[in-house]
Amino acid sequence: MAEAGELTVVAFHLPQFHPIPENDEWWGPGFTEWTNVGKARPQFRGHYQPHLPADLGYYDLRLPEARAAQSTLAASAGIGAFAYYHYWFNGRRLLEQPVEGILRLGEPEFPFMLVWANENWTRTWDGGDRSILMEQRYSADDDLAHIRALRPALTDPRYLCRDGRPVLGIYRSSRLPDARATTDRWRAEAARWGLPGLHLVRIESFRDERGDPRPLGFDASVHFQPSSENIPPSPRWFRLRQRARRLSSRYSHRVFRYDDLVELAMSLPDPSYPRWPGVTPGFDNSARRRVEATILHGSSPSTYQRWLSDAIARGARSAALVDDGAGAMVFVNAWNEWGEGNHLEPDRRHGRAFLEATRAAIEASRPRSRPEVAVDG
């Protein structure tokens, strides 16, 4: 629950750390995100791969103990909530077991929200329209069935709210045939339950997701990172050429300096509409993509901390535009995207350094009380 005036740092959370029948069929028995992580190899000198977990090990999110350990670690760093990716395909849910376990058991006592990852599932891990494994289809009836299925989560006392309104995200609003119709149906259904409303956020993840989300029925956007908006137009650290690309798959990768992306992100002006800022501790999807991966090289806790501090200040300005009194939100991508090399969870190289940087940025943003001055007489 976001209290009045308080900052809430939200970390995106990937639930694909337990086997499901669909992944067994598509990728082989026992497949989880750890399968990709374990196969990663360095693609050039100085390239940090594989990313191997430290404190939490190779966990299984079906276990309550694993979810509790994640929540304890996140809370210790000042993280205010997890944003679990939610997968809904016309009534069929995938990777739902972690959140269902949280709802069923009533633990851990840690705030959470949902983000509908409404992309096609594909063999290329890009949400596109080729090599589709599970396809998204939309309808008015499905809109209602979907929001009604979410009622147990949205009305759970731990669910992240702003002024009593559950925060709910859509990853690709541009894929909806009529986004305004969908958001109107969802708001009407929430009102029928007696909720004061919903705080709907559109995730700005691609070029076609940018712009003022309010005409589409959203309260705000989330600036998902890394964003093409602040990736340099051409790799400055590692320039790729067609001839080299034909010689070896490793030369197909796009490699950028993490520091360049951060500097560009902090130089961008705030938009004129409400947008919750985002940051990432790094990005490297070469574990998932053997060719044409995007790699942010040289990320560090100190640069990440500086970026998060800037995002917190931007979040306060966005909160003034939202004007619901619930304080700022900042989104970190991600808590545990190990297959994309962006995780706050401790790894064997950095340990808890990114978590410590998160806490330091949050604590530095809090107003300090003035020391009391003794007055004689």
Instruction: Catalogue all structural domains in the chain, each as residue range(s) with its CATH number.
Output: 8-365 (3.20.20.80)
DSSP-derived 3-state class of residue 86: strand
Q: What is the pLDDT confidence band of residue 350, given thresholds at 50, 70 and 90? A: very high
**Contact criterion met (CB below 8 Å) for 317 and 65:** no
Confirm if 9 and 78 have CB atoms less than 8 A apart.
yes
The lowest-confidence range among 49-53, 102-106, 126-130, 289-293 is 126-130
For residue 62, pLDDT over 60 is answered with yes
Cβ–Cβ < 8 Å for 292, 284: no
CB 285 within 8 A of CB 125: yes
321: region left, alpha or beta (phi > 0 left; psi from -120 to 50 alpha): alpha
Residues 145-172 have pLDDT tens digits of 999 999 999 999 999 999 999 999 999 9
pLDDT of residue 1: 53
pLDDT of 243 reads 42
pLDDT in tens, 309-324: 999 999 999 999 998 9
Residue 236 has pLDDT above 70, yes or no: no
Predicted pLDDT of residue 4: 54
For 57, residues 6+ apart whose C-beta sits below 8 A from its C-beta are: none
Residue 309 · residue 359 · CB < 8 Å: no
Spatial CB neighbours of 351, under 8 Å, sequence gap ≥ 6: 54, 55
Provide the pLDDT confidence category of residue 128 given band limits of 50, 70 and 90.
low
Residue 268 phi/psi, 5-degree rounding, is: -70, 140
The answer to whether residues 77 and 312 touch, using CB atoms and an 8 Å cutoff, is: no
CB of 56 closer than 8 Å to CB of 34: no
Tell me the DSSP string of 10-25: EEEE---SS--HHHHH
Report the percent of the chain where pLDDT is more than 70: 89
Using a CB cutoff of 8 Å and minimum separation of 24, what contacts does 135-139 make? 135/89, 136/89, 136/175, 137/89, 137/90, 138/175, 138/176, 138/177, 138/182
Average pLDDT estimate for 249-257: 78
Q: Determine the residue type at 332.
A: V
As a whole-number percent, the residues of the chain with pLDDT over 90 amount to 79
Which residue type is seen at 285? N
pLDDT in tens, 272-290: 999 999 999 999 999 998 8
Mean pLDDT (whole number) for 79-91 = 97
State the Cα–Cα distance between residues 135 and 143, nearest whole angstrom.
Answer: 16
By CB atoms closer than 10 A (0-12, 13-18, 19+), residue 374 is: exposed
Which is nearest to 54 in space by CA: 42, 69, 33?
69
Separation between Cα atoms, residue 261 and residue 275, nearest integer Å: 19
Mean pLDDT for the stretch of residues 338-347: 97
* pTM for this entry: 0.92
- Reduced to 3 states (helix: H, G, I; strand: E, B; else coil), residue 133 is strand
Task: Answer for the pair 283, 294: CB distance below 8 angstroms, yes or no.
Answer: yes
Mean pLDDT of the chain: 91
With a CB cutoff of 8 Å and minimum separation 6, the contacts of 352 are 55, 77, 346
CB of 295 closer than 8 Å to CB of 186:
no
Work out the pLDDT band at 251, boundaries 50, 70, 90: low
